[in-house]
């Protein structure tokens, strides 16, 4: 196709995505995601909000030092202290380091949040850009709540920040309020009415409160936007962000009417989705576009017949195009270390020799319990053995007893800060008894918000996968655990959540776009 326009992909999974309830990640986990984003070949990785906490600063700094290829962005408010802190972390990326500063521009934000006039907002934004320019020319400015900003004032701000030195100007639909025709008109108006708009890249950052984030992003691109800000699996605050895999595959699949391209290596999309779910414990719904479990499943007889005759009858893209292999059965008890390691590589995991040895030991133990090992089992092994946070609390052993005529009792031994402790409690069921015992041993004040159980694969020998959501002082975390014994899996999930709570950092400033 002639005159195909290149669209930049700005991934904010590690910043906006991490603001999903329970999605907090430690530095090593963020680095794994960043490495996967580099494999995907995204143009920009927004690594975090450096001034928000020591943990965020350290993560941005480590990613800037380590990841090669994509530009590395750090978010900061339009304030000198924020900008200085951001560059202190980003400087290790050199010219690839991007200072991303923001300020609200809508009437409602200026009146109730900023308490600033239009002139003050423009003055503050310009001053922020000029201060950032002391460090780098790679500067992005975001007009927070742009979709609800008066077009005339938005154009004034955009023109001013470009004149001050912004190389990228982001137009966020911060609260997911806009609809495609309206959002396209907003972008088109800026392209037509801002005299110096050709001196900067126009970006969009759409939220999904009305389920229109991808649609709005595509409409904006058709109207002239050149960068899309998005997240893996569409995670993010409230209903989330524009889904990276959906918007990228929409552009690729409908290239017949959308003359745009990205540099994303789409064969890494499925592995990226699984890795994020494994790290955060936030699973995608089965009917999620592109990466959901049912995305390439055909149950209706007429659909099955059509797919068997020719896949194009009901599949508009191939599973292989997103890195989804068709052969689910992979390994058994006689499989060797090489085959095991190779399959993990194919699933998107890059493990050190030490981590591979630990995972292989767990694999062999599981293979003695299960006849067949599936990809989903391997994901669970990596989640349990490798992608785990520092453990203040460790499960040593446990025994439960229950029955139709017996009160459920759980006896649990844990290692807490290096000391072995043991207790037993009764409960309404074996899981309830287990959670009560763990809570007693850890003296936890956290409230249990939800507990879910699922089978990782089919069959009566399937591993159970449990997810626990805990809340403490307004902070929510997700814990996950997998084991052939569902009660043990439950205990591991609860303890995993407690370990995540132990790592929670101090409250961060909000950045709601």
Q: Taking the alpha carbons of 48, 245, 295, 345 in that order, is the dihedral positive or negative?
A: negative
- In SS3 terms, 286-330 reads as CCCCCCCCCCCCCCCHHHHHHHHHCHHHCCCCCHHHHCCCCCCEE
Burial of 346 (0-12, 13-18, 19+ CB in 10 A): middle
What is the CA 94 to chain-centroid distance, rounded?
Answer: 25
Looking at the chain, the number of H-run helices and the number of E-run strands are 16, 18
> Within 13 A of 496's CA, how many CA atoms are on the CB side?
31
Residue 329: is it exposed, middle or buried by C-beta count within 10 angstroms (0-12/13-18/19+)?
Answer: exposed
Helix 244-253 vs helix 269-280: crossing angle, to nearest 10: 170
Nearest to 373 by CA among 461, 277, 454: 461
* Nearest residue to 147 (alpha-carbon basis) of 85, 113, 117, 190: 190
Residue 276 and residue 30: Cα distance in Å, rounded?
Answer: 10
Bridge partners of 6? 261
Backbone angles phi, psi at 205, to 5 degrees: -140, 100
User: For residue 98, which of 65, 63, 140 has the smallest C-alpha distance?
Assistant: 140
334 is annotated as contributing to ligand binding: no
Phi, psi (5° rounding) for residue 262? -125, 170
**60 burial level (CB within 10 Å; 0-12, 13-18, 19+):** buried
Ramachandran region of residue 458, left (φ > 0), alpha (ψ -120 to 50) or beta? beta
207 assigned to a ligand binding site: yes
Give DSSP secondary structure letters for 360-410: HHHHHHHHHH-S-EEHHHHHHHHHHHTS----SEEEEEEEEEEETTEEEEE
The binding site for Mn(2+) comprises: 16, 205, 207, 241
The binding site comprises: 16, 205, 207, 241
């Amino acid at each position: 196709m002639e005159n195909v326009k290149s669209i930049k992909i700005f991934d904010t999974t590690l910043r906006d995505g991490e603001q999903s309830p329970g999605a907090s990640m430690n530095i090593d986990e963020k680095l794994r995601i960043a490495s996967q984003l580099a494999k995907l070949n995204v143009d920009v990785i927004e690594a975090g909000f450096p001034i928000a906490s020591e943990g965020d600063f350290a993560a941005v700094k480590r990613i800037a030092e380590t990841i090669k290829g994509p530009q590395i962005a750090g978010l900061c408010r339009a304030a000198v202290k924020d900008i200085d802190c951001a560059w202190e972390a980003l400087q290790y990326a050199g010219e690839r380091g991007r200072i991303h500063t923001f300020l609200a521009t809508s009437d409602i934000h200026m009146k109730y949040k900023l308490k600033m006039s239009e002139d003050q907002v423009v003055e503050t934004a310009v001053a922020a850009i000029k201060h950032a320019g002391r460090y780098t020319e790679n500067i992005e400015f975001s007009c927070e709540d742009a979709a609800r900003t008066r077009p005339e004032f938005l154009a004034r701000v955009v023109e001013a920040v470009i004149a001050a030195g912004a190389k990228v100007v982001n137009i966020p639909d911060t609260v997911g309020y806009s609809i495609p025709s309206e959002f396209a008109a907003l972008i088109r108006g800026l392209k037509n009415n801002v005299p110096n708009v050709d001196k900067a890249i126009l970006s969009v950052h759409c939220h999904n409160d009305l389920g229109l984030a991808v649609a709005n992003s595509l409409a904006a691109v058709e109207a002239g936007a050149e960068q899309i800000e998005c997240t893996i699996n569409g995670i993010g605050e409230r209903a989330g962000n524009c889904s990276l895999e959906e918007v990228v595959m929409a552009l690729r699949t409908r290239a017949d009417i959308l003359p745009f391209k990205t540099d994303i290596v789409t064969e890494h999309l499925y592995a990226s989705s699984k890795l994020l779910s494994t790290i955060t414990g936030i699973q995608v719904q089965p009917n999620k576009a592109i990466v959901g479990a049912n995305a390439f499943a055909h149950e209706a007889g007429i659909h099955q017949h059509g797919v068997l005759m020719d896949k194009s009858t009901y599949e508009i893209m191939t599973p292989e195009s997103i890195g989804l292999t068709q052969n689910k059965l992979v390994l058994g008890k006689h499989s060797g270390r090489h085959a095991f390691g190779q399959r993990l590589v194919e699933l998107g995991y890059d493990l050190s020799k030490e981590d591979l040895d630990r995972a292989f030991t767990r694999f062999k133990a599981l293979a003695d319990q299960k006849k067949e090992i599936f990809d989903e089992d391997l994901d669970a092994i990596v989640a349990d053995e490798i992608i785990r946070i520092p453990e203040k609390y460790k499960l040593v052993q446990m025994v439960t007893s229950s029955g139709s005529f017996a009160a459920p009792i759980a006896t649990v031994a844990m290692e807490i800060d290096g000391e072995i402790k043991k207790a037993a409690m009764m409960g309404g069921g074996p899981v309830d008894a287990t959670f009560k015992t763990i809570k007693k041993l850890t003296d936890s004040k956290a409230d249990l918000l939800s507990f879910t159980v699922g089978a990782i694969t089919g069959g009566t020998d399937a591993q159970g996968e449990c997810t626990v959501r805990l809340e403490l002082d307004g902070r929510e975390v997700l814990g996950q655990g997998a084991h052939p014994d569902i009660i043990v899996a439950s205990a591991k999930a609860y303890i995993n959540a407690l370990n995540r709570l132990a790592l929670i950092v101090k409250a961060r400033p909000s950045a709601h776009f």
